[in-house]
Amino acid sequence: MESCVFCAIVNKQIPSASVLESETALAFLDTSPIAPYHTLVIPKAHYVDIIDVPLQVLHDVTDLIHQVCQLYSKKLGINSYQIFNNTGPHSSQTVLHLHFHILPRYEDDAIKFSFRHMPELVKNYPEMLTRLW
φ, ψ of residue 112 to 5 degrees: the values are: -125, 110
Catalytic residue list: 99
| Strand intervals (E) in 62-130 | 81-84, 100-104
8 Å CB contact between 71 and 29: no
The candidate with the shortest Cα–Cα distance to 43, out of 18, 19, 23, 29, is: 23
- Report the C-alpha gap between 73 and 85 in whole angstroms: 21
- Report the C-alpha gap between 48 and 106 in whole angstroms: 31
Return the DSSP state at 51.
T
- Report the C-alpha gap between 97 and 26 in whole angstroms: 12
